[in-house]
Amino acid sequence: MALLIQNGEIVTADSRYVADIWCENETITAIGKNLPVPQDAHVIDARGKLVFPGFVDPHTHIYLYAMGTYAKDTYETGTIAALCGGTTTLIDFVNPQRQEGSLEALEKWRQQTVNPCCDYTCHMTVSHLDAQIENELREVVLQHGITSFKIFFAYKDFLGMNDGDIYKTLLLAKELGVVTAAHCENAHIIDIRQQQFVDDKKLTTEYHHHSRPPILEAEGTHRLCVMSELIGGEVYVVHLSCEEALQKVIAAKMRGVNIHAETLIQYLLLDKSHAELPNFEGAKYIMSPPLRDKKNQKILWNALHQGFLATVATDHAPFDWQQRQMGKENFCNIPNGIPSLEDRIRLLYTHGVNTGKIDIHRFVDVASTRAAKIFGLFPRKGTIQVGCDADLVIYDPHVEETISANTHHMNIDYSVFEGIKVKGRCHAVTVRGHVQVRDGQFTGQKGIGKFLKRQPRSH
Ligand code: URP
Ligand code: ZN
Ligand code: ZN
Ligand code: ZN
């Protein structure tokens, strides 16, 4: 059905004005003042509200296996939670195990993408490389339209690769015109430090961050920069958490390295003291890289404002409270990751825009436009103009709500943001013109989310 959104204040990464938006056949077909109102159109009154392009989360794990267990959201619960929080496109990961082919893992992942309610795509993790995998990766890019790779400097015995194979992956990525995302931490040293803590019976949650200090993230980030500088390909640092790593990114940018960096909403608002909470409460806050000293937050906000950081993602990794118990006796066994897919936009708006740390256009850029550009989804996603997908967030900035596990839609029995007040609520959210959310609640159609095929960069 055709949809008319009237009198909203449209805010994109570079413009702000009041107008009506007309959506037909899943796209935006007209923007203007006082557009005619056809009789059968669905009309949303957006007066007094902000209209943002649908938000893009470039780093989420819906189907995630780690430490012998699977994260709890399904495509249905995860995409509903995303939408209720204003995210209309998410990028997940296909993580082939070392013995598994890329195509086999892709097929397994596809079987999980049941009843998606928002649009989605994935990054293809490269966890080992040989001639067979190289052929499969070409097919992944050229036939399946997955135009971003993921590599891990971290997780030595799981998804991590050695420097030689990472270098070869970056060469292949450059040849194919795809961007490579990287988890930058020094796996070998972390492994030894963890073993030392275990030997010394230092097993509580705070030793997680002691085992992976900022300089090990900086070192991994620098290694990525060096390889990228030699090769000339395009790289993307995921979940950058600290000043030390940021400095490596800025220095590399100055040398002309084609590098983007992402931070997470968790690093902007939470710090290592949360992971140090007693009685295993800290287990809710275990992720890698770890939450850092609070002094980093101001630096990360400034870097967002200045444009040194490109995006704010969630790295949503929904392991529930029972799964966290796996590490009760030893922090090394806590499944890593902090669920946050639903909360990113409202937290970023409240703590970024409302406090003046970033302006409203930067907000749209770091939460939508920039990720769409880097990952080959722009201008279909990431902005509001004639011809793009009708993915819109009609945001009521006056409503105040409190985040709680009792009311969120993520399939998780706690919230690391429990009790935090946020300004604003999604009055309505559309995906290609389908109204999926009203007043913060999912009211739409399950299964309408589409896999987004992308094109590699042309040389
Ligand atoms: O702790 C985290 N970040 N878990 C999810 C997997 C990853 O490293 O991104
Ligand atoms: Zn990671
Ligand atoms: Zn991740
Ligand atoms: Zn409302």
Ligand 1 pocket test: pick from 57, 60, 61 the residue with the most ligand atoms within 8 Å of its Cβ.
61
Query: Which segments within 107-258 are labelled E, that is strand?
Result: 119-125, 148-152, 179-183, 235-237
The Cα angle at residue 108 between residues 162 and 175, in degrees rounded to 5: 45
Task: Give burial (CB, 10 Å; 0-12/13-18/19+) of 114.
Answer: exposed
287 lines ligand 1 (CB under 6 A): yes
- Distance of alpha carbon 70 from alpha carbon 61, whole angstroms: 10
Q: Which two tokens stand for residue 403?
A: 């985040």
Q: Report how far apart, in Å, the C-alpha atoms of 325 and of each of 188, 211, 273 are.
A: 25, 20, 20
337 lines ligand 1 (CB under 6 A): yes
Mean pLDDT, residues 262-268:
98
* Atom 5 (ligand 1) nearest CA: 337
* pLDDT band with cut points at 50, 70 and 90 for residue 167: very high
* Atom 4 (ligand 1) nearest CA: 337
Looking at all shown ligands, the one closest to residue 65's CA atom is: 1
pLDDT tens, residue by residue, 206-237: 999 999 999 999 999 999 999 999 999 999 99
What is the total residue count of the chain? 459
* 297-315 burial: b if 16+ Cβ within 10 Å, else e: bebbbebbbeebbbbbbbb
pLDDT tens, residue by residue, 100-157: 999 999 999 999 999 999 999 999 999 999 999 999 999 999 999 999 999 999 998 8
Mean pLDDT, residues 262-282:
98
Q: How many helices (H) and strands (E) does the chain have?
A: 15, 19
CA of 329 to the centre of ligand 2 (A): 24
Express as a percent the part of the chain with pLDDT over 90.
98
Mean pLDDT, residues 7-34:
98
* pLDDT band with cut points at 50, 70 and 90 for residue 98: confident
- Sequential DSSP letters for 315-346: -B----HHHHGGGSS-GGGSPP----TTTHHH
Residue-level pLDDT at 376 = 98
pLDDT tens, residue by residue, 23-39: 999 999 999 999 999 88
pLDDT tens, residue by residue, 328-352: 999 999 999 999 999 999 999 999 9
Ligand 1 atom with the smallest distance to the CA of 336 is 1
Mean pLDDT, residues 178-201:
97
Mean pLDDT, residues 399-411:
98
> 273-280, long-range: CB within 8 Å, 24+ apart, which pairs?
274/416, 275/205, 275/206, 275/208, 275/209, 276/205, 276/206, 277/205, 280/204, 280/205, 280/324, 280/325, 280/328
Express as a percent the part of the chain with pLDDT over 70.
100
- Backbone φ, ψ for residue 336 (5° rounding): -80, 145
Residue-level pLDDT at 266 = 98
* Atom 9 (ligand 1) nearest CA: 315
Mean pLDDT, residues 423-444:
98
Interface predicted TM-score (ipTM): 0.93
Residue-level pLDDT at 458 = 83
Mention every residue, 6+ apart, whose C-beta is less than 8 A from residue 281: none
Ligand 1 pocket test: pick from 69, 336, 338 the residue with the most ligand atoms within 8 Å of its Cβ.
336
* pLDDT band with cut points at 50, 70 and 90 for residue 10: very high
Is the pLDDT reported for residue 459 higher than 70?
no
Domains in the chain: ranges and CATH? 54-374 (3.20.20.140)
Residue 29, H or E segment: strand 27-32
* Atom 2 (ligand 1) nearest CA: 337
Is the pLDDT reported for residue 1 higher than 80?
no
- Distance of alpha carbon 257 from alpha carbon 232, whole angstroms: 7
Residue 291 DSSP label: P
Mean pLDDT, residues 9-34:
98
Residue-level pLDDT at 139 = 98
